[in-house]
Amino acid sequence: MTSPLVLSIDAMGGDHAPDIVVDGAAAFLKGRRRPVKFLLHGDEARIAPLVEKHPGLAAVCEIRHTAGEVDMSAKPSEAVRRSKGSSMWNAVHAVKDGEAHVAVSAGNTGALMAISKVILRMKKGVHRPAIAASWPVPQGYCTVLDVGANVECTPAQLVEFAIMGEAFHRVARGVTRPTVGILNVGSEQMKGDETVRAADALLRAANLDMDYRGYVEGNDISAGTTDVVVTDGFTGNIALKAAEGTARLLAGWMREAFTSSLIAKVGAALLSVSGLKVLKSRMDPRSVNGGVFLGLNGVVVKSHGGTDSVGFATSLRIALELADSRFLTEIEQNLSRLAEVEAEEIADASEQETA
Amino acid sequence: MTSPLVLSIDAMGGDHAPDIVVDGAAAFLKGRRRPVKFLLHGDEARIAPLVEKHPGLAAVCEIRHTAGEVDMSAKPSEAVRRSKGSSMWNAVHAVKDGEAHVAVSAGNTGALMAISKVILRMKKGVHRPAIAASWPVPQGYCTVLDVGANVECTPAQLVEFAIMGEAFHRVARGVTRPTVGILNVGSEQMKGDETVRAADALLRAANLDMDYRGYVEGNDISAGTTDVVVTDGFTGNIALKAAEGTARLLAGWMREAFTSSLIAKVGAALLSVSGLKVLKSRMDPRSVNGGVFLGLNGVVVKSHGGTDSVGFATSLRIALELADSRFLTEIEQNLSRLAEVEAEEIADASEQETA
């Protein structure tokens, strides 16, 4: 029998923790064949009774009691100072200690990133980690990064994201040579702000072994024109949430249309037999809930703070897939390319200064 | 009989002009009671045969021949220099000359904005015009601005957008006291980049007669939590297009589910009787195609460059509604408030300098 993959979970993170975390873990377990084990970090008195409701879960669960938890509104620097021994801190530390293959939290994003950086450290060559989201497209998923770790980015950081995102997509989606684009307001080369134009120039000049396609626009993401879409954390976060909001609105309208009359209900019932369920699940933003932290010595997955158990189960599935892949090795192999780009960039910069 | 409202149209603007422009105008006319008149600017030899196909349209149409057109990839500054006498230039000029109530173009956004600024001039007190989009929400529309005119914005410009957007929403949507929010990556006050935080501080300090609600996130737009959402043109453009892409993807999935089998087709047919059509039209990004330029002495509406006749007809509908409203007066009345904010801001800045 294969040894179980171990998921280390911050059971207290998120708006509706620990309830949705425990229910999510139980939902995730159903029908799963690959053996897994959970480390649940948090308030044992609150977690234990919830776990007991799911006998299957209890059997593969180890509760690690912690007294503290990270506040959803804490500043990242504050969180790092004050959160030692909290459920979030310990969840990430279990990965560092080799006890778990991956950590998952629905807590404060900034705090989780700061804590992960302190505990796991960045991979050699990485200056800023990024959060990658898997965005649904007709043929599968597009990788969009950064979606929230870095509000402001330099051109070199965007290049770093391109390299990490490409490596992630190759492993997570099994695409041998993913295409890469930079998110911009127009596809013409003169458009966009200075940072985006400089990153584009860097990627073109760097002569990386990468299928870089230049600028893409907001609508290109869902259209699936490019495998990997690179942007700063401010724009990426807003684009992702705007798209999720749209999906939620449309799903609501669909429900309305399907229950508007008896005839509609019969129609919807007939559709249910054939594909409506798939459609509903495809349209459900919870089915893509899980941002992956790239650039660290270990895998950390961030679930939405406001998600429910279905969304949290998705984050666990994403975490498991990554833990089960050669994701970290693949990223490592690509970081030498990053060093080359940066050496060139510095050369260029000094050339400009002397010119 | 009421005198007709005159729409001045750049018939050569957009990827599929003049065909979709003429077909769009014809589609827009159908079932309309309020008398309208079109000025179609562009290549008469190409436009006339298209118009002739629609007898109703020909009766209310005046073709104004122009030889030049603005290239879709021209830089704004270039466009202004070279476009005198082009279809776009003349379409906007007809508003300035008092011949038309509103101008509509699906051409190059940057060029249209630059030309509109040169011809119509900005309203007193406005430093940068903005493009406002109408974003569907459960109870109607949210006004989002800027969605593309200003790639980089100062805090004071964001405040300007808030004031113009609020006035626009009041007139366009009939809401007496619209709520206003600034788009950010989180709702906590410490989040976001410096520009956003400074704009938030300005709006709080300014003590405007405005229902300012602080930060909103990407998903809040479609949820309709706030009437007016303010952001820079880079983020706004990407968010809008990301949402449109999502709507298109979901509509595609819906079509797939509805035609996947005979049973599904019967189900969809039953649904068609009751609400599916409404749903489809609601989900159609073409039904919200039309960005309104705010801050100018005249109304200009920008249609997507890649739209079809259905989308172009929507832009004409939006243009007509605005031409028929007291939109410009309302904006003017709000600009005195802008001057006050800016006076205070300058006072604050000098205070900080001396502190």
* Closest-CA residue to A166 (of A121, A109, A206, A111): A206
Between chains, do B245 and A243 touch, taking CB under 8 Å as contact? yes
pLDDT digits (tens, 9 = 90+) for A64-110: 999 888 887 778 888 888 889 999 999 999 999 999 999 999 998 88
With pLDDT > 70 as the criterion, what percentage of chain B qualifies?
85
Average pLDDT, chain A: 85
With pLDDT > 90 as the criterion, what percentage of chain B qualifies?
50
Q: Which of B234, B256, B278 to mutate to test the interface with A (most CBs of A within 10 A)?
A: B234
Is the ipTM of this structure higher than 0.95? Answer: no
Q: Which of A176-190, A322-336, B102-116, B244-258 has the lowest mean pLDDT?
A: A322-336
A250 or B25, greater pLDDT: B25
What is the average pLDDT across A276-281? 64
d(CA B97, CA B294): 19
Q: Hunting for tokens 């504050």 — which residue is that? A: A78
B326 or B35, greater pLDDT: B35
Cα distances (angstroms) measured from residue B144 to each of A148, A151, B236, B239: 21, 21, 7, 10
Contact B7, B36 (CB under 8 A): yes
Contact A133, A148 (CB under 8 A): no
Between chains, do B248 and A222 touch, taking CB under 8 Å as contact? yes
d(CA A145, CA B9): 40
Cα distances (angstroms) measured from residue B138 to each of A246, B135, B223: 10, 10, 7
Q: Over 90: is that where the pLDDT of B223 sits?
A: yes
Question: Can you list the domains of chain A with their CATH numbers?
Answer: 1-121+296-323 (3.40.718.10), 148-289+325-355 (3.40.718.10)
Taking only residues 291 to 350 of chain B, the set having a beta carbon closer than 8 angstroms to any beta carbon of chain A reads: none
Q: Is the dihedral of CA B173, B177, B181, B187 positive or negative?
A: negative
Q: For chain B, what is the radius of gyration of the CA atoms?
A: 21
Tokens of A26: 């139980």
d(CA A232, CA A238): 10
d(CA A341, CA A346): 9
Identify the pLDDT of residue B82.
86
Q: Highest mean pLDDT: which of A89-98, A270-279, B305-314?
A: A89-98
| Smallest Cα distance from A73 to chain B, Å | 7
Identify the pLDDT of residue B355.
46
pLDDT digits (tens, 9 = 90+) for A200-218: 999 998 877 899 999 999 9
CA nearest to B153 within chain A? A193
Q: Over 90: is that where the pLDDT of B346 sits?
A: no
* Closest-CA residue to B159 (of B291, B296, B295, B290): B295
Q: Over 80: is that where the pLDDT of A164 sits?
A: yes
d(CA B145, CA B122): 17
Contacts of B67 (CB under 8 A, 6+ apart): B43, B85
pLDDT digits (tens, 9 = 90+) for A171-197: 888 899 999 999 998 655 456 788 999
Contacts of B285 (CB under 8 A, 6+ apart): B244, B247, B248, B311
Chain B residues with CB under 8 Å of A259 CB are: none
| Smallest Cα distance from A219 to chain B, Å | 4
Chain B residues with CB under 8 Å of A77 CB are: none
d(CA A266, CA A259): 9
Q: Over 80: is that where the pLDDT of B327 sits?
A: no
d(CA B49, CA B51): 5
* Closest-CA residue to A323 (of A136, A98, A149): A98
What is the average pLDDT across B101-123? 92
Average pLDDT, chain B: 85
What is the average pLDDT across B179-200? 82
* Closest-CA residue to A183 (of A234, A128, A232, A245): A232
A336: how many CB neighbours lie within 10 A of its CB? Answer: 11
| pTM of the entire predicted model | 0.85
Q: Over 80: is that where the pLDDT of B289 sits?
A: no
Q: Over 50: is that where the pLDDT of A355 sits?
A: no
Between chains, do A252 and B217 touch, taking CB under 8 Å as contact? no
